[in-house]
Amino acid sequence: MANTETSLKEAAQIEGTIGAALVDYTSGMALGVIGGGKDFDLTVAAAGNTDVVRAKVRTMEMLGLQDEIEDILITLGGQYHLIRLLKSRGANGLFLYLALDKSRANLAMARHQLKRIGDELEI
């Protein structure tokens, strides 16, 4: 099992990664970030993506869907933004957020690697 710091370092090694964060979507707070920069503020991105997760959870409730969100993909012109909700014990209300450079990333591999990282994360 890996801790937050180790998990974020692993996420940063995914090909094409711009930045990654562990986020509490009940509060909108980033519990840890790696990468980003002056042109890409991960704490702002974490807070904004909290709204995305909350909206999807509410929509599923309104539709009566009895299922769980695995991940949410947002595709921009030059980036992929991947949100992976965590299911492990103690991780309720948390998600891993990964921003990728579309020209350098392999989306299928990134999803697979982020799933593994999330499964191994111990809070």
Residue type, 39: D
Given a cut of 90, whether residue 39 has pLDDT beyond it is no
What pTM does this model have? 0.92
Domain boundaries, the chain: 4-120
pLDDT of amino acid 123? 79
pLDDT of amino acid 2? 79
78-82-84 Cα angle (round to 5):
175
- 4-120: what fold? Beta-Lactamase (3.30.450)
Q: Find the mean pLDDT for residues 5-29.
A: 95
